[in-house]
Amino acid sequence: MEQLHIIGGHRLSGKIRISGAKNAVLKLMAASLLVENECIIRNVPLIKDVLTMIEVLRSLGVELSWEEEAVLRIKPKKELHFFAPDELVREMRASVQVMGPLLTKVGKIKLFQPGGCVIGQRPIDLHLKGFQALGAEVVEEHGYVYAQAHKLKGVDIHLDFPSVGATENIMAAAILAEGATVIKNAAKEPEIIEEQNFYNRLGARIRGAGTDTIRIEGVSSLRSIPVDYTVIPDRIETGTYILAAAITGGDVTLVDVIPEHFEALTSKLKESGVKISIDGDMVRVCADSKLKAIDATILPYPGFPTDLQPQMTAVMSLAEGTSLITENVFGGRFRYVDELVRMGANIKVEGRSAVVKG
């Protein structure tokens, strides 16, 4: 799809069921490389990134099939390949998440360097430093990453930044390492808790996900048992619908949500005047009054998520007063501002901040 035609000026209302979390599904699909039997993953969204990851895994020697709507069956072969086609890695940055599982299962990897993306440079140096700390030999050459390890050994690793991808890749690489691995300044995202739970189902010994310190006790092998896992709802999709309701003055109910996963957003919107009520796994958003400008600082989880920063900036362009949106996760994430200005928004970018006059 090359174009979206949007007819604006309408208040959103109704009830929506939230999909499974993309950022959890992609990582669990990569994690399935360590499954000795087979696994079923439920609540899988049918989106392009999932379809690309299916092709990545097939290229590595994994059998995948759709059992029914949103249910994916995965069965790795005994012998896996250690590299994926360049075009697939270029197509989706999340393909780097196969590195940790492959290093554990096969003992070596070759992967095209993903480089940056439209929201700025996102190098994988923290992933590679983690592999080296565990004892892997890592070489970067001619645009590729090569890594090899005969036997990884547990170690304490302190991340310079709480990178989600690095935390996940190091966690996967440490599962069968000799001894204990401790990841300090680890990312705390709910998707990492999902991976911990998934790996522990297989017989891994991981604890601490959701905190800044994760401890992995290496095990000699994983269980050869089938795994049936249901993915958590997507907190970014949830937040996007919440903000869409806010900007249109809508009244929207979202079902199958985990409210504590988006508290940073709802607390800010309540401050802005949006009415938000929570009942179990449902949240109702009612924006029937003029929004007030608020400031928001973008931080790693549990702070305000960077993936909702553009939507929040758009909402604040219609609020009364001046807002300051400060981005502390990804540089270059204000590139969309020029387009909002073309639509009539009054926004000025100053370094890592956007000054939004409603």
Q: Which of 68, 69, 27, 80 is nearest to 49 (CA)?
A: 27
Q: What is the pLDDT of residue 147?
A: 97
pTM over 0.85: yes
- Whether 64 maps to a domain, the answer reads yes
Long-range CB contacts (within 8 A, 24+) of 216-219: 216/154, 216/171, 216/174, 216/175, 216/177, 216/180, 216/181, 216/182, 216/183, 217/180, 218/152, 218/154, 218/174, 218/175, 218/176, 218/177, 218/178, 218/179, 218/180, 218/181, 219/175, 219/176
Q: Indicate which CATH number applies to the domain containing 60.
A: 3.65.10.10
3-state secondary structure of 20: strand
Same domain flag for 211 and 259? no
Last residue of a domain, one of 184, 206, 230: 230
CA distance 47 to 66: 13
Of 203, 230, 257, the one marking the end of a domain is 230
List beta partners, residue 137: 148
Residue 3 belongs to some domain of the structure: no
Domain boundary among 207, 230, 253: 230
Residues 223 and 193 in one domain: yes
Whether residue 197 lies inside any domain: the answer is yes
- The pLDDT, as a whole number, for residue 123 is 76
One domain for residues 181 and 221: yes
Q: What is the pLDDT of residue 113?
A: 83
Within this chain, do residues 79 and 133 fall inside the same structural domain, yes or no? yes
CA–CA dist 130, 247 (Å, integer): 42
- 93 within some domain: yes
Q: Could you read off the pLDDT tens digit of each residue along the chain, which spans 358 residues?
A: 689 999 988 999 999 999 999 999 999 999 999 998 999 999 999 999 999 999 999 999 999 999 989 999 999 888 899 999 999 998 888 899 999 999 999 999 999 987 445 444 567 999 999 999 999 999 999 989 999 998 999 999 999 999 999 999 999 999 999 999 999 999 999 999 999 999 999 999 999 999 999 999 999 999 999 999 999 999 999 999 999 999 999 999 999 999 999 999 999 999 999 999 999 999 999 999 999 999 999 999 999 999 999 999 999 999 999 999 999 998 889 999 999 999 999 999 999 999 999 9
| Token pair in block for residue 347 | 């926004």
* DSSP strand pairing (39-42 vs 227-230): parallel
Residues in the chain, overall count: 358
In a domain, 308, yes or no: yes
Question: How far is residue 262 from each of residues 42, 139, 240, 242, 305, measured CA to CA in Å?
Answer: 22, 39, 11, 10, 9
In-domain check, residue 321: yes
pLDDT for the residue numbered 304: 98
Indicate whether 185 and 328 sit together in one domain.
no
Residues 6+ apart with CB under 8 A from 90: 112, 114
The verdict on 277 and 130 lying in the same domain is no
Beta bridge partners of 347: 356
- Looking at residue 176, its pLDDT comes to 97
Say how far apart CA 261 and CA 248 lie, in whole Å.
23
Residue 4 lies in a domain: no
Distance from CA of residue 154 to its chain's centroid? Answer: 26
For the chain, the domain total comes to 2
Name the catalytic one among 46, 117, 139, 278.
Answer: 117
pLDDT reported for residue 189? 98
Same domain, 243 and 201: no
3-state secondary structure of 169: helix
- Both 73 and 155 in one domain: the answer is yes
Closest CA to 209 of 222, 223, 198: 198
Those residues with Cβ within 8 angstroms of residue 57's Cβ, 6 or more apart along the chain or in another chain: 29, 30, 32, 33, 64, 74, 98
- Using DSSP's 3-state secondary structure scheme, residue 129 falls into helix
How far is the C-alpha of 299 from the C-alpha of 309, rounded, in Å? 10
239 and 321 belong to one structural domain: yes
* Inter-residue contact 188 to 302 (CB < 8 Å): yes
In whole angstroms, what is the distance from residue 306 CA to residue 328 CA?
A: 8
Q: Tokens for 25, please give them.
A: 């599904």
* Any domain includes 314: yes
39 and 59 co-located in one domain: yes
Q: Establish whether the linkage from the previous residue to 302 is cis, with ω within 30° of 0.
A: yes
Give the amino acid at 45.
Answer: P
Q: Are the C-beta atoms of residues 137 and 72 closer than 8 Å to each other? A: no
194 lies in the same domain as 275 = no
Residues β-bridged to residue 108: 148
C-alpha closest to that of 327 among 296, 301, 292: 296
* pLDDT score, position 78: 81
284 and 188 belong to one structural domain: no
Domain that residue 252 falls in:
13-17+233-357
Does the active-site annotation cover 39?
no
